Structure 1
């Protein structure tokens, strides 16, 4: 299946604080918060939600179409993505702005404080998905991930107009969207992705109950961190897939993106949701042990061993279309 991934493309500035943020937050002074953290390490990495997901899909043998807006500083990054199986034909280059920047500090408990400068992403709303579909191979699925809100709404509307299945992944942008916009983004989605906090925020924004959300989407995928993943569909009992145990966490940045890449790679081969979640969790565990969102290599032999150790030998068979014969 051809998958188009729309959303942010960015450069990540990742810093590590050798302590706990909580130890420096004074409850009676939060209204006047002013803190500076001396960090031990700075890593400048390639990132952005859409680019991270497309990178993972490319590593798993798909050729995803990346759709987003970047600056003129994107040339080296574009070469990298092409070398890793990503079609950048849907990327718009701005002549006025630089590629978006993500700046993040992580403490020893894996808590994060971050800021995101949109840069060229402000122009993502000018991308016409209908034009891309007209000149390129029609995708079997479009993932609408965090982006300029106008772009997210425009891409969702285009999917409905073109009758192309789409997956909704509003995640970080839930804080910027109002209830009507969130309802517009998720209604009719074949897949809805959130983490546990975002799931609660989505219900608050829309005013919908869990059952009302499930009435307008095909399947709701909620990542639960160390608790694994919950898969829900209307009329069915919720399915929880445990996370893959990880001995040491190097950096949580991009872990959710890796899960989505593994999950959607399986979906692209018509694999069931339980097995897709197995692959998503396996790839997420690989990224959790690396620093940066695109510093890992997809080794399908190793992914096969991870799936087998975590979920049993029988869990490998359904994923043969993705993992079989690749190394």
Structure 2
């Protein structure tokens, strides 16, 4: 099965602050904020939502096609993805731009501060969703502003169901645009903070959003996730990681699990648990694409995590 994942491909520079951000910020001085965080270690990783989700979907046995624009410095990343079976048919290289780059700092409470240079991603609207490509699902994840608008419309016009995953791109849109995304999408997936922002900007509550889509999915990190579908509210437990190493990319792994469940016709309780386990597996490894598993071990761990066997259609 094939999914088209519209979003970013980026180089990630990942740092860990050996404390908590809140201890370094004076609440009554945020109008003149001047803060420096010492980060003893720096890792450079391959990242970006589209590539991360496609990588994770590949681990589950499906084919995820990232659709993105990259820069002249993409070659090492492209080689990495090809070696791992991620197809690059819909990745466009722009010779006059850099590939997008993120600087991600995490504290010991798993809070994150991110600075992002879009580079070639700003031209992602040059790509278009193919009308006839045998796609079973699509996803609109954080990308260039116009690209997200265009690709949502194109998925709908092509009759391809898709997940709207605004992520860090949500602040770029006003109420009317966000309502249009919800109208076009089949699933809306946000984290708890993004969900509150989405409701604040649109004036819609959870039930009103869920009534327009197949499901509203809200992730809550270690507290699990919530899926509101068909008038039913499902509380999805978090799967326990063997160790908490790096939360960067956990949301992307979770979304790959959502796609996998949807592509194989699983019910929402099962789909949510697949996604939850994907997030737990990711958090055990540094970086966003350094974890791996085989099908048998995933099914075994699913049963151990949730006390039920995993059965999926073809």
Identify the TM-score tier after normalising by the shorter chain: over 0.9
How far the C-alpha of 1:22 sits from its partner, in A, is 1.2
Q: Which has the higher helix share?
A: 1
How many Å separate the matches in 2 of 1:301 and 1:2?
21
How many Å separate the matches in 2 of 1:3 and 1:157?
16
1:14 match: secondary structure: strand
1:296 match: secondary structure: coil
TM-score w.r.t. structure 1 length? 0.92
Q: Which residue of 2 aligns with 1:315?
A: 309
Candidates 272, 277, 283, aligned match of 2:272? 277
CA contact 1:124–1:148 (8 Å) conserved in 2: yes
Uncovered stretches (5+) of structure 1, i.e. residues with no partner: 322-327
1:315 match: secondary structure: coil
How many Å separate the matches in 2 of 1:218 and 1:188?
11
1:187 match: secondary structure: helix
Candidates 283, 287, 292, aligned match of 1:288? 283
2:116 match: secondary structure: strand
**Superposition CA RMSD, Å:** 1.4
TM-score w.r.t. structure 2 length? 0.96
After TM superposition, the structure 1 stretch with the greater mean CA deviation from structure 2, 191-200 or 180-189, is 180-189
* Per-residue deviation, residues 65-94 of structure 1 (Å, max 9, x unmatched): 110110021122112212222221111111
Q: Which residue of 1 aligns with 2:42?
A: 42
Uncovered stretches (5+) of structure 2, i.e. residues with no partner: none
How far the C-alpha of 1:320 sits from its partner, in A, is 7.3
How many Å separate the matches in 1 of 2:223 and 2:185?
25
How far the C-alpha of 1:2 sits from its partner, in A, is 1.7
How far the C-alpha of 1:294 sits from its partner, in A, is 0.4
CA contact 1:2–1:140 (8 Å) conserved in 2: yes
Q: Which residue of 2 aligns with 1:211?
A: 207
Alignment of 1:136-285 (within 5 A): 137-234=133-230, 236-285=231-280
How many Å separate the matches in 1 of 2:180 and 2:280?
32
How far the C-alpha of 1:187 sits from its partner, in A, is 1.2
Alignment of 1:87-126 (within 5 A): 87-126=87-126
How many Å separate the matches in 2 of 1:174 and 1:294?
24
CA contact 2:302–2:309 (8 Å) conserved in 1: yes
